[in-house]
Structure 1
Amino acid sequence: MPHPLDAEAVRTWCSLALDALGRAREEIDAINVYPVADGDTGTNLYLTAESAARAVDAVFEGHATTAPASRPGLPEAVRAMAHGALIGARGNSGTILAQLLRGMAEVLAAPGDQDHAAAAPLRRALRRAVESAYEGVARPVEGTVLTVAAAAADAAEATPGDAAAVARAAHQGAVTALQATPGQLAELGAAGVVDAGGKGLVEVLGALAEALAGRPAPTPAVPAGAAHPWRVAPCPADSGEAGSGGPTAPGDGPAFEVIYLLDADDDAVARLRARLDTLGESLVVVGGDGLWNVHVHTDDAGAAVEAGIDAGRPHRIRITHFGSTAQEGTRVRERAQRAVVALVPGEGLAALCAEAGATVVALRPGEPPAAGEIVEAVRRAHAHEVVLLPNDPDLRHTAAAAAEQARTEGVRAALIPTRSPVQGIAALAVHEPGRRFDEDVVAMTSAAGATRYAELSVAERQSWTMAGVCQAGDVLGLIDGDVAVIGTDLAATAGTVLDRMLAAGGEMVTLVLGTGVPDVVADRLRHHVRRSHLAVDTVVYRGGQQSPPLIIGIE
């Protein structure tokens, strides 16, 4: 029996889509050829859908807590779905899926479109989804998920009946378009597969059809000459735009995938699009109302993050270093032998570690990562061996749990108990993937252990410390985690901390400046070290962390 398109149907849709993508995840990963054959499209779509489903569940749970007899309306549910997908979007495909859902939400949440059984709002929602997705992709390419989404909208508009009938038609239109993608994009034809992102969208639309119709969508027929509905005989494409957007195998194209959420206004985002378009490819910028999800493949991860800083406030930054290349005529990502996963606060530190070859988990102020988020970073690293750098004593146990989970998945994992980002930087500096695993871990552990660290912070209230009583607003100098100096000026207090630390010797000072700390502070400290401690070099990084305002390392 058909169901109305209401909040409950949206919740059911999200749940069914998550289940469908979970079942199809490995298959979608395996046919991931375009735009980069990195074997993670299914995983990225699943994680994006999971974030959307959690957001919708949270809305229902909120109503159950505050008003047990009430239910959320359709506008509230679809907005939650779109927002959850946006903040949790992963990869090129997940970012586009988030924009498709946002486009649908714009229509379904609008006043006057609350006839839950009517088909017209769903038709308009599917059309707006396509328009939004094309707007978000810098260089659209046909034969991809965009083509599949457009075909679904076309089929929906041509179909009479209720919302359930429209959803079934959209799903069938997407299936038909998906099976044609190998003839539209050379990379797909050569590999003998359909577009992976399009396959994921077919699963999502099938879940919508099932949620509204109350029964599963029909299983796609196998095309003539194919052993499977999503694989065809390899052949050159008759048409396509292989040069548009730069499809590559990992190692052939840009080295990094950079993704972040961005708080910025529309004008700043327009300038950001133009700037990122010159820095890389596979550029997708989606969102609106001040919150955006930015995705780009580039060789200069630092510049991509800096562009976001210039545009607004980037956060939840994920930088992935693509692995290497292909086998048996198809571009399939191979596991690297060894990778490093680093947890770091701040955009600058994230870019620095990524450029050193690490897979980065960017820490959010006041939101410590769950072990699952670190495990996901280990999976993204796609290596047989992984070294974890928590860079914070409070994250050691979480990182250890993630390492244990990675081991159950067949990854050889080692945790180096780095207590500060500067220790992580020191460990990365001596990392040598060509060494034996144990030797590399020992060398990195030794480098981290030989790096003393300090932090400058601002006291929030009066309290007792090992250096005496501090007042709210005082500058605290913590050496190896304990308060050693209390002052009133950041640069002066940092100078005292440096003198105490260098009294025990040292060859290099590393200064990591937080957000809002002026360059003059670094200049004063560099001059202080040069004047007071001969033969000691000073290196300065813009870390971008909100707290602490200054991190010091002594090697």
Structure 2
Amino acid sequence: MPGVPQTLDAEAVRSWCAGALAALGRERADIDAINVYPVADGDTGTNLYLTVESAARAVDAVPAGAGVAEVIRAMAHGALIGARGNSGTILAQLLRGMAAVLADGTGDGDHLARALADAADAAHAAVAHPVEGTVLTVARAAADACDGGGHLTEVATRAYAGALTALDATPGQLAALRRAGVVDAGGRGLVTVLGALVETLTGQAPNRPAAPAHPPVLPADGCVAGDGPAYEVVYLLDADDRAVDRLRARLDELGESLVVVGGDGLWNVHVHVDDAGAAVEAGVEAGRPHRIRVTHFDTQAAPAEPAPPAGRAVVAVVPGEGLAGLCAEAGATTLLARPGEPPTGDELAEAIRRTHAHEVVLLPNDTELRAAAAAAAGAARAEGIRVALIPTRAAVQGIAALAVHEPDRDFDEDVVAMTAAAGATRYAELAVAERQSFTSAGVCQAGDVLGLIEGDVAVIGHDLTDTARTVLDRMLSAGGELVTLVVAADTPETLTPTLEQHVRAAYLAVDTVVYPAGEGAPPLLIGVE
């Protein structure tokens, strides 16, 4: 057939990636609607779409004329760094397993068959406790259906047919699916991706999976898979293989739905836990976690059919892992902002969508994020989500806003109360100068301690504790009832006791509260309310 590729070459991979993204875009609402396992949070289709969207961006960045190895590896790498949710993380590993074979092969049917087999093995190995009736089962069936190889189009068609048959059988393998009357959502997404491959290679779209005759049947208590952990924790991790082996064991003790995918020093970690902070700290012990996302699972089930979301949520940007856990425990979805790695507007918009809430309060907690936060809020509003952007300029203002947040209160009243609490909190930050420069307080040298009040350098010192004490005195000279100290992991342990004692001695009516910021935060953040 004219225009149909005879091998899975670079252009065919590009076409497959674009086709998979388009297909998931068409079907993600249907896939979201049948998402009942492992958590009925209605986001599997969206997560798979975002994962492939990241893969497509990576492929688009590969120069024209590049070979199949470069394109397929870009597709796999893009999926790895952008993987979302349980199924998205597994799909990233499937693509990585395929890339390892296809990058060095001839692109014929035999290589595709071997790529699918290796991909199924890799994905199965990445999941701590594999369960039959999930995307893993569908992936294995696709590989088994094309065992022995053959012509490229025949192999792809047999893989799709095998996956479709396995998908139809998933309700008989998993009780949660059987009770709800649906097939596995992750498996349905993989069938969609394989269908795009068939269309790329044959020029014809295969038959789509049949839609469920009725919406999913959810138990009266709104819980399909049982009472599970409260948080989903996801992060990228720079670490070696041995450290990752120890991390897997630690996270397996902490939670469930553990998937760790990747290799060659870069990993994507996904786990459901009750202690989000401990899951992040485990990553810190193993290597360097980044792009950390902590999501609090809604206590209600996912909608039984595509419908406007309900409820209220808070999305907060924080500068350290400890604060991510703290804000998550307060019910917020968090994004980590590391030095030089602030979240983009697209990432903020995605975080808003992931809450599945009709009303969202966005706390950027950084003046530099104002434009990105405004763009994210605008994008979410265009999708019908009511978003209130509170222009918090520091994490301590976000903490103050969260402290008065009441999700059962009228939305406008809640936003007013949170805005007032944030606005009533003056903020300061201690930082260490990296080079000589001119500041509003004079010339500083590399290594000087800078005390910034409301974003401007107010104090230049040589000792962290002395500078912090001076900053506190200047802030409390205007009055205050509560001092909040947010301390980074590498800040000297003697700092906070010294400051607490100073406040008690000099300001009798002022209380002090201390929060650990973890790795990646400035040495000290100060809030005065």
What range describes the TM-score normalised by the shorter chain of this pair?
over 0.9
Instruction: Name 1:142's counterpart in structure 2.
Output: 132
Shift of 1:303: 1.5
Residue range with higher mean Cα deviation, 517-526 or 447-456: 517-526
Which residue number in structure 1 is paired with residue 417 of structure 2? 443
Distance 1:327 1:38 in 2: 4
For the structure 1 residues 30 and 9, does the alpha-carbon distance in structure 2 shift closer, same or farther, using more than 3 Å as the test? same
Number of residues paired by the alignment? 522
Q: What letter corresponds to residue 302 of structure 1 in structure 2?
A: G
CA distance in 2, matches of 1:327, 1:8: 38
- Equivalent-residue separation in structure 2 for 1:172 and 1:383 (angstroms): 37
Alignment-derived partner of residue 433 in structure 1: 407
How much does 1:409 deviate? Answer: 2.1
What is the match of residue 289 of structure 1? 264
Match of 1:243 in 2: none
What is the aligned counterpart of 2:343 among 360, 369, 372? 369
CA positional deviation for 1:248: 5.1
User: Cα offset for 1:10?
Assistant: 1.4
Partner of 2:38: helix, strand, or coil? coil
The answer on 1:516 being equivalent to 2:507 is: no
**Aligned residue among 520, 525, 537 for 2:511:** 537
Q: Which residue of 2 aligns with 1:101?
A: 95
Match of 1:383, SS state, is: coil
User: What corresponds to 2:207 in structure 1?
Assistant: 219
State the superposition RMSD in angstroms: 2.3
Letter in 2 for 1:408: A
List per-residue Cα deviations over 1:34-64 (Å, max 9, x = no partner). 111111000000000011111111122xxx5
Q: How many Å apart are 1:137 and its aligned residue?
A: 0.7
Further displaced range: 31-40 or 301-310:
301-310
TM-superposed CA distance for 1:135, in Å, is 0.7
Q: Is 1:130 the counterpart of 2:140 in the alignment?
A: no
Cα-to-partner distance string for 1:375-406 (whole Å, 9 max, x where unaligned): 21111111221111111112123212222222
Contact 2:503 2:510 in 1 (8 A): yes
**In the TM superposition, what is the alpha-carbon distance from 1:407 to its structure 2 partner?**
2.2
Q: Could you tell me how far 1:356 is from its partner in structure 2?
A: 0.5
Contact kept in structure 2, 1:459 and 1:473, CA below 8 Å: yes
* Structure 1: distance between partners of 2:61 and 2:9: 16
Query: What is the rounded CA distance, in whole Å, between the counterparts of 1:378 and 1:546 in structure 2?
Result: 23
The question of 1:404 aligning with 2:378 is answered yes
Q: Distance in 2 between matches of 1:251 and 1:349?
A: 29
Structure 1, residues 397-448: CA drift from partner, whole Å, max 9, x if none?
Answer: 3212222222222222211111100000000001011211121111111111
Q: 5 Å matches for 1:294-313?
A: 294-313=269-288
Separation in 1 of the partners of 2:243 and 2:519? 22
What is the CA deviation profile of residues 454-505 of structure 1, one whole-angstrom value per residue up to 9, with x for unaligned ones? 0111223332222112122221111111111001122221111111112222
Secondary structure of the structure 2 residue equivalent to 1:229? coil
Contact 2:236–2:289 (CA under 8 A) maintained in structure 1: yes
- How far off is 1:325 after superposition? 2.6
Deviations 1:209-258 (A, max 9, x none): 22233x124214xxxxxxx714268999xxxxxxxxxx954893221111
> How many Å separate the matches in 2 of 1:466 and 1:326?
53
> Which is worse superposed, 533-542 or 476-485?
533-542
Corresponding residue of 2:471: 497
What amino acid is the match of 1:148? V
Structure 1 residues 478-487 or 164-173, which shifts more? 164-173
1:372: Cα distance to partner? 2.4
Distance 1:347 1:167 in 2: 43
The 8 Å contact of residues 338 and 433 in structure 1, kept in 2 or not, is answered as: yes
Q: Which residue of 1 aligns with 2:58?
A: 55
Q: Kindly provide the amino acid, as one letter, of the partner of residue 231 in structure 1.
A: P
* Contact 2:33–2:305 (CA under 8 A) maintained in structure 1: no
Paired residues of 1:323 and 1:335 also in contact (CA < 8 A): no
CA shift in 2, pair 1:235/1:369, >3 Å: closer
Q: How far, CA to CA, are the matches of 1:326 and 1:475 in structure 2? A: 49
Structure 2's unaligned 5+ residue stretches are: none
Aligned residue among 233, 236, 254 for 1:279 = 254
Is contact 1:37–1:333 with CA below 8 Å preserved after alignment?
no
Q: Contact 1:51/1:88 (CA < 8 Å) preserved in 2? A: yes
User: What letter corresponds to residue 105 of structure 2 in structure 1?
Assistant: Q
Shift of 1:364: 3.7
Distance change (3 Å), C-alpha of 1:90 and 1:468: same
Equivalent residue, structure 2, for 1:198: 187
**Contact 1:251 1:322 (C-alpha < 8 Å) held by counterparts:** no
Aligned counterpart, 2:212: 231
Measured after TM superposition, the shift of residue 535 of structure 1 is: 4.0
Q: 1:253 corresponds to which residue?
A: 228
Quick one: distance in 2 between partners of 1:416 and 1:250? 35
Task: Give the TM-score taking structure 2 as reference length.
Answer: 0.93
Task: Report the Cα offset of residue 547 of structure 1.
Answer: 4.9
Report if the CA contact (8 A) 2:338-2:520 is conserved.
Answer: no
Deviation at residue 335 of structure 1 after TM alignment: 3.7
* TM-aligned CA deviation for residue 86 of structure 1: 0.7
Give the % identical residues. 70
1:119 equivalent among 105, 109, 122: 109
1:286-318 deviation digits (Å, cap 9, x = unpaired): 111111111111222112112111221111111
Is 1:153 the counterpart of 2:143? The answer is yes
Q: Do the aligned partners of 1:337 and 1:384 also contact (CA within 8 Å) in 2?
A: yes
Secondary structure of 1:59's counterpart equals coil
- Give me the whole-angstrom Cα distance separating, in 1, the residues matched to 2:185 and 2:195: 15
Distance (Å, rounded) in 2 between the aligned partners of 1:275 and 1:36:
22
Contact 2:362 2:387 in 1 (8 A): yes
Deviations 1:323-352 (A, max 9, x none): 133499x69999442111111222111111
Contact 1:52/1:88 (CA < 8 Å) preserved in 2? Answer: yes
For the Cα contact (< 8 Å) 1:11–1:56, is it kept in 2?
A: yes
Whole-angstrom distance in 2 between the partners of 1:326 and 1:395: 32
- C-alpha separation between the residues in 1 aligned to 2:425 and 2:232? 30
The separation in 2 between residues aligned to 1:292 and 1:420, in whole angstroms, is 30
Q: Does structure 1 residue 26 correspond to structure 2 residue 29? A: yes
Q: Distance in 1 between matches of 2:73 and 2:466?
A: 50
| Structure 1 pair 251–423 and aligned structure 2 pair: CA distance change class (3 A) | farther
Structure 1 runs not aligned, ≥5 long: 65-70, 221-227, 237-246
Could you tell me which residue of structure 2 aligns to residue 175 of structure 1? 164
Residue among 189, 208, 212 paired with 2:197 = 208
Normalising by structure 1, report the TM-score. Answer: 0.89
* 1:105, distance to aligned residue in structure 2 (A): 1.5
Distance 1:187 1:33, change over 3 A: same
Instruction: Decide whether aligned partners of structure 1 residues 327 and 76 sit closer, same or farther in structure 2, where only a CA change above 3 A counts.
Output: closer
Query: Within the alignment, does 1:9 sit opposite 2:3 as a pair?
Result: no
Query: Is 1:314 equivalent to 2:317 in the alignment?
Result: no
Partner Cα separation in structure 2 for residue 235 and residue 17 of structure 1: 25
Q: CA deviation at 1:370?
A: 2.8
CA contact (8 A) 1:37 1:332 kept: no
1:225 is aligned to none
The letter of the residue matching 2:337 is L
Q: Deviations over 1:117-172 (max 9, x none)?
A: x32222111111111111111111111100000000001114x4222221111111
| Partner SS for 2:73 | helix
Counterparts of 1:333 and 1:26, CA distance in 2: 9
Q: Is the 8 A contact 2:484 2:527 kept in 1?
A: yes
Separation in structure 1 between the aligned mates of residue 16 and residue 302 of structure 2, nearest angstrom? 38
Mapped to 1, the partners of 2:428 and 2:225 lie a distance apart of 38
CA distance in 1, matches of 2:423, 2:404: 12
